[in-house]
Structure 1
Amino acid sequence: MGAEGGRVRVEPTAKRIRAQSGGQTVVDTHRALLVWETPYYPVYYLPAADLRTELINPDAVTYPGGDDRLREHVRLDWAAMDAWFEEDEEVFVHPRDPGVRIDVLASSRRVRIEADGVVVADSSAPRLLFETNLPVRYYLPKLDVRMELLEPSDTVTHCPYKGSARYWSLRIGDQLYPDLAWSYPTPVPESAKIAGLIAIPQERVQLYVDGQQAG
Structure 2
Amino acid sequence: MTSSATTGGRPVRAEPSPKRVRVYLGGEVVADTMRPLLVWESRGYPVYYIPTADVDGDLLIPDQGTARSELLGDAELFSVKAGAALAPGAARHYGQSPLGALRDHIRFEWNAMDAWFEEDEEIFVHPRDPHARIDVLPSSRHVRIELGGITVAESRSPRLLFETGLPTRYYVSKLDVRTDLLVPSGKVTQCPYKGIAQYWSVRTGDRLHEDVVWSYRTTPPESQKIAGLLAFWNADTYVDGVLQDSF
TM-score w.r.t. the length of structure 1 is 0.95
Partner of 2:146: 114
SS of the equivalent of 2:101 reads helix
Gaps (5+ residues) in structure 2? 61-78, 81-88
- Confirm whether residue 73 of structure 1 aligns to residue 129 of structure 2: no
Tell me if structure 1 keeps the 8 A contact 2:50–2:107: yes
Partner of 2:122: 90
Tell me if structure 1 keeps the 8 A contact 2:23–2:115: yes
* 1:120-159 superposed matches below 5 A: 120-159=152-191
1:55-89 Cα offsets, whole Å, 9 max, x none, are 35341111113221112101001111111011111
Provide the rounded CA distance (Å) in 2 between the counterparts of 1:40 and 1:106: 28
- Confirm whether residue 103 of structure 1 aligns to residue 135 of structure 2: yes
Tell me if structure 2 keeps the 8 A contact 1:164–1:187: yes
Identity %: 57
2:238 to 197, 208, 211: 208
Shift of 1:2: 8.8
Amino acid corresponding to residue 224 of structure 2 in structure 1: A
Amino acid corresponding to residue 91 of structure 1 in structure 2: I
Gaps (5+ residues) in structure 1? none
Tell me if structure 1 keeps the 8 A contact 2:212–2:235: no
- Confirm whether residue 24 of structure 1 aligns to residue 28 of structure 2: yes
Between stretches 12-21 and 64-73, larger displacement belongs to: 64-73
Shift of 1:54: 2.4
Which structure shows the higher strand fraction?
A: 2
The higher radius of gyration belongs to 2
Provide the rounded CA distance (Å) in 2 between the counterparts of 1:47 and 1:107: 45
Two-structure CA RMSD over aligned residues (Å):
1.5
Provide the rounded CA distance (Å) in 2 between the counterparts of 1:186 and 1:40: 25
Shift of 1:127: 0.4
* 1:168-179 superposed matches below 5 A: 168-179=200-211
Amino acid corresponding to residue 68 of structure 1 in structure 2: G
Amino acid corresponding to residue 192 of structure 2 in structure 1: P
Displaced runs of 4 or more, over 2 A:
1-7, 53-58
